[in-house]
Structure 1
Amino acid sequence: MTALSVNLNKIAVLRNSRGGAEPDVLRAGIACLDAGAHGLTVHPRPDARHIREDDVHALAGLCRSRGVEFNVEGNPFAPPRPGYPGLLALCDAVRPAQVTLVPDGDGQLTSDHGFDFTSDGDALRQLVAAYKTLGCRVSVFVDVGDPLVARAASAGADRVELYTGPFAEAFARGDADAALRMAADTARLAQAAGLGVNAGHDLSQANLAEFLARVPGVQEVSIGHALISEALYAGLDATVRAYRHIVDAAVAGRVNA
């Protein structure tokens, strides 16, 4: 099964651009789950430029009440500051089903690279252990093509999330074959080390089916920017249902292959 987790950050960006409470992040989360999303993802950042601490608590409660997965992404190296208690403290408070560790700095517009296991491995091992004591499944963000991806298992992670931005760019150029082969090879390296495989970043209705057809065993896709953008035209309910159709068809194709 490939699970669809909807990232709600862009709803919060729109709300914060005006102030107030609209659009309502919690209401958007309810709409996504009602339309068939398997879970919800948020990526709170220390500057609170989109998802805030109060959003994390509200959405955690929603996911608990629905019995679905809540995935909290964030930089485990970022220190606490006013309005942001730090990723570990936030996860301790809400106990998400999954925490996805991402090495993004404050100045980054969006996540654009995975961990460097040569330089970050020892620190990552200690951090992963801390999150696992909270009962969270731990996934770490990795670059497609990283020959050291198996080190995520040595660090104690349960899964890796493949950074799919370069694939999406290649797909848009009409030249995705090499990127897909590399993603498939990276997924197999991770799986051989006992890791589950997630994927995310710039996946869309246009490119998702081909990605899932070519990359084996993807357990979860986290999609936000494209999904929310498409929902501006088609509506949130219809867009989430369209993504569910894609992931369900991919699963059916693997079963019948």
Structure 2
Amino acid sequence: MTKLSVNINKIATLRNSRGGNVPNLLTVATDIEGFGAQGITIHPRPDERHIRYQDARDLKNIVTTEYNIEGNPIKSFMDLVLEVKPTQVTLVPDALDAITSNAGWDTITHQSFLQEVIKEFQQNGIRTSIFIDTDAKLIEAAAKTGADRVELYTEDFATQFDLGNFDAIKPYTEAAVLAHKLGLGVNAGHDLSLDNIKFFKENIPNLDEVSIGHALIAESLYLGLENVVNMYLHRLK
């Protein structure tokens, strides 16, 4: 079964918008695990506009499933990850002022840099994943960095799926097959939702994990958080 890791950035955004500690991020993370999710994901950014660095530290003592921290490996992020030692770190090349992640790594241009970063994380027992597009050459270069996994950037699939273009899944299927052949685990995330997750899962072989935040939290406003988590788990079986 493909694991569901729930990104709780939006919970932190809601908390921060009012100040104080409502909703309580740690309580929500614990509840999400209790509802059946197999992981918690956070993506702290330098301006701490949603997840704060202290949240990452506090969650370490709370999360009992897989703990995934995403981000651009600038020094402050690397120091945080090495301190917290999550289950997995997902490297994302987002700009400091990015609203959300909008591109995967150029693993050819940045191969030596990624090799150094990945080596340091792995020496500390942290599984590594690279956020990446579906280009075969980039997948092949990702394998040369020593990464454990790639996370397929799925925004284009989600956009095309909404337009009825189901053939948009093909590059993702091919990328997953190639990644598995090269010894890489396969994760996926960005704009996956209740509408498209079942189709995506059915067409992506060896899919280890999906990380879903914005859509899941938005859907929960109408359907309830526990219900939505279980709806995802059902579609991922």
TM-score, normalising length: structure 1: 0.90
Structure 1 CA distance, aligned partners of 2:108 and 2:197?
A: 31
Aligned equivalents of 2:134, 2:29: Cα separation in 1: 29
1:139-158 C-alpha deviation (Å, 9 max, x unpaired): 00001234321211210100
The structural deviation recorded for 1:215 is: 1.2
Identity %: 47
Q: How many residues end up aligned between the 2 structures? A: 237
SS at match of 1:139: strand
- Separation (CA, whole Å) in 2 of partners of 1:146 and 1:12: 36
Counterparts of 1:215 and 1:166, CA distance in 2: 15
Aligned to 1:124: 114
Any idea what SS the aligned residue of 2:109 has? helix
The TM-score, its normalising length taken from structure 2, stands at: 0.97
Rounded to whole Å, the distance in 2 between the matches of 1:194 and 1:246 is 26
2:183 aligned residue? 194
The answer (yes or no) to whether the contact 1:147–1:186 under 8 Å persists in 2 is no
1:237 to 226, 230, 234: 226
1:7 match: 7
Unaligned 5+ residue runs, structure 1?
80-85, 249-257
Q: Does structure 1 residue 70 correspond to structure 2 residue 64?
A: no
State the 1:241 CA deviation. Answer: 1.0
Q: How does 1:20-99 map to 2 (within 5 A)?
A: 20-63=20-63, 66=64, 68-76=65-73, 78-79=74-75, 86-99=76-89
Q: 3-state SS of the aligned residue for 1:119?
A: coil
Gaps of 5+ in 2: none
Contact 1:144 1:164 (C-alpha < 8 Å) held by counterparts? no
Code of the aligned partner of 1:69: E
1:144-174 Cα offsets, whole Å, 9 max, x none, are 2343212112101000000000000001111
RMSD: 1.0
Following superposition, the deviation at residue 180 of structure 1 comes to 0.5
- 2:174 maps to 185
